[in-house]
Amino acid sequence: MLRVLIVDDVPLIRQSLSVFVEANNDTTIVSGTAANGKQAMAWLQDSYVDLCITDIRMPVMDGLQLIKQINANFPWMACLVVSSYDDFEYAKQSIELNALDYVLKPVNKETMNKALAKATNKIQELRNWDAAQLFLKRLPHHRSVLEQWREHILTIRMETLPLLIVETLELLEQWVEGNYYLLNALSNLWLQTLIEELTTEKIQLELDEGKDLGLGEKHLELSRTRSYFRLCAVRRLEEGAYRLIASMRGVRNQQSVKVVNQIRQYIQQHCGEPLNLQSLADHVALNKTYMCKLFKEETEQTIHTYIVLERMQLARSLLLDGSNKVYEIAKQVGYEDVDYFTQIFKKHYGLSPLDYKRRMKS
C-alpha cells in the first residue's frame, strides 16, 4: 500500500492530483493534503506516508525546502515534484535532493500513472535492497529458526505454527531496529528463502510482494506504525506458511477444491455466528457425513478445526486492533463462554489473549 501526501497551494490542483492518485490502482491512496510545506510538515508529525507529491513554488515553505525537511526527518519517504515551471535549475535542485521525478503541469492521468509507477517501483526497490542487506547479515546467525519452518512445512505441523510465526516476527523486528516499514520486505525474503530450500521436495510456489491484506486504512498515525506493520507482516507470514503447507499436500481434484473453498468462504463470512455442520452441508448441497470426509481429505483437518482457526485469526485482529475486552471479543467470534474462548486461544497461539497482546505490542 503506497500512502501519498499531496502538497500544492491551489485547491483545485490538490483535488485533481488526489483523483489521479486514487484512480491509479487499488494500492495507491491519498492519506492527506496540504497547501504548503509548513502545513505538510505539521501533518507529518503525526502521520505516516511513503510518498510526497509536491509543487515547487508555494507560500510559507516551498517544495524544495519541504523536500529537505522530509529527507532530514522522514528518511523512509520519497518525493515527487509536480510543477508549472519548466526550469532547469528547479529540476536540477529537485534531483540533487533525490526527488524521484519532475513532472510538468498540467498533469493528465497517463502522465501521473507513469510517475506513480516509477515512484512505486523505486520505493519498493530501495526497501527490498535494504531488507536484503539485513537478511544476508542476520540470517546466518538464525538458521535454526528457518530450519524449524522447513520442518513444520514438511511434516505439516499446524499446532505450533502460529507461535513459530510470532517468534519469527519478533526476530525480524529486532533486525529492522525501528524501521518497521521493512518488515513486509523481510517477510517476503524469509518466505522466498524457505521456498528455495523446499525445491528438493518438489514444492513450487510463487508469492507476490503482498499487500496490506485488508488493513489498508487511508490514514495511518505515526504512533501506530509499529503495530500496523507488525500485523501486516505476521499476516503475510501466515499466508505464506499456509500456502506452503497446502502445496505440500499436493494438487487436489478441482471439483473437491471448489466445494472446500465454498465451505471455507461460508465459515469466514459467518465465523462470528453459531455454526453447525448441517447448515454447512445444506449450503454446499452435500450429505453432512460426505462433506466432513471430503473436507478432511482435502485439508487434512476437520471442519471444526478450521472454524477454530478462522475464529482465532479474527480474535487476534480484534485483540490487536482496538481496545475490545476479552469477553467482548469472545462474543464477536462466536463464544459465549469467555473462559472457554481463552482456553481455545491459548491452545491455538500458545499464549493467553492478554499475554499475546502484551507480547505483540511490547
The kind and range of the H/E element at 104 are strand 102-104
Q: Percentage of the chain surpassing pLDDT 90?
A: 62
Give the contacts of 79 (CB within 8 A, at least 6 positions apart).
51, 52, 53, 54, 66, 67, 70, 71, 94, 97, 98, 99, 100
pLDDT band with cut points at 50, 70 and 90 for residue 252? very low
Cα dihedral 158/160/162/166 (nearest 10):
-150
Per-residue confidence (pLDDT) for residue 75, from 0 to 100? 92
Q: Where are the beta strands (DSSP E) in 55-182?
A: 78-83, 102-104
Are 274 and 280 within 8 A, CB to CB?
no
Choose from 26-35, 167-176, 189-198, 264-273 the range with maximum mean pLDDT: 167-176
| Cell digits of residue 67 | 523536500
More confident residue, 18 or 199: 18
Rounded-to-integer distance, Cα 71 and Cα 93, Å: 14
Taking 90 as the threshold, does the pLDDT of residue 40 lie above it? yes
Nearest to 53 by CA among 26, 75, 29, 89: 29
Q: Among the listed ranges 108-112, 196-200, 312-316, which one has the minimum average pLDDT value? A: 196-200
Per-residue confidence (pLDDT) for residue 251, from 0 to 100? 39
63-73 pLDDT per residue, tens = 999 999 999 99
Cα dihedral 354/185/98/100 (nearest 10):
-110
Q: Any idea which fold 2-125 has?
A: Rossmann fold (3.40.50)
Name the pTM for this structure.
0.69
| CA dist 295 → 162, 268, 299 (Å) | 22, 15, 6
pLDDT band with cut points at 50, 70 and 90 for residue 48? very high
CA 97 to chain centre: 29
- What is the rounded average pLDDT of the residues 169-185? 95
Q: Among the listed ranges 58-67, 156-165, 195-204, 283-292, which one has the minimum average pLDDT value? A: 195-204
Nearest to 54 by CA among 77, 27, 85, 80: 80
3-state secondary structure of 321: coil
Tally of CB atoms within 10 A around 269: 10
Per-residue confidence (pLDDT) for residue 86, from 0 to 100? 79
Rounded-to-integer distance, Cα 68 and Cα 70, Å: 5
CATH second-level architecture of 254-361? Orthogonal Bundle (1.10)
Taking 60 as the threshold, does the pLDDT of residue 90 lie above it? yes
Q: 106: cis peptide before it, omega within 30°? A: yes
Sign of the alpha-carbon torsion through 83, 84, 90, 95: positive
323-339 pLDDT per residue, tens = 789 999 999 999 999 99
